[in-house]
């Protein structure tokens, strides 16, 4: 009976660290996934920064925002029929 109590005591001592180990392992997987996502976003942003150094890209972005070059006239067409 005493050996059984000692065995249960030893098992009880291992339960806490084992639970902590598995919790930490799960958190580490989540953090690794977040790091991979952030690295992918970083690469996307680097590519966007590089693209924005190109004059064509800058002009396209400016025109999407409604900017015109000096000397150009901007026209706004409203109430166009919906395309089929």
Mean pLDDT throughout 43-66?
92
Residue 37 DSSP label: H
Mean pLDDT throughout 47-63?
92
- Give 61's contacts (C-beta < 8 A, 6+ positions apart): 52
What share of the chain in percent tops pLDDT 90? 57
pTM for this model (two decimals): 0.56
pLDDT in tens, 38-47: 999 999 999 9
Confidence of residue 29 (pLDDT cuts 50, 70, 90): very high
Mean pLDDT throughout 46-70?
92
């Amino acid at each position: 009976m005493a050996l059984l109590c000692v065995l249960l005591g030893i098992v009880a001592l291992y339960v806490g660290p084992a639970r902590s180990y598995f919790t930490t392992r799960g958190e580490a997987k989540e953090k690794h996934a977040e790091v991979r996502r952030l690295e992918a976003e970083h690469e996307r942003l680097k590519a966007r920064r590089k693209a924005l150094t190109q004059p064509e890209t800058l002009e396209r972005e400016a025109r999407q925002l409604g900017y015109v070059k000096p000397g150009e006239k901007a026209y706004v067409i409203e109430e166009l029929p919906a395309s089929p």
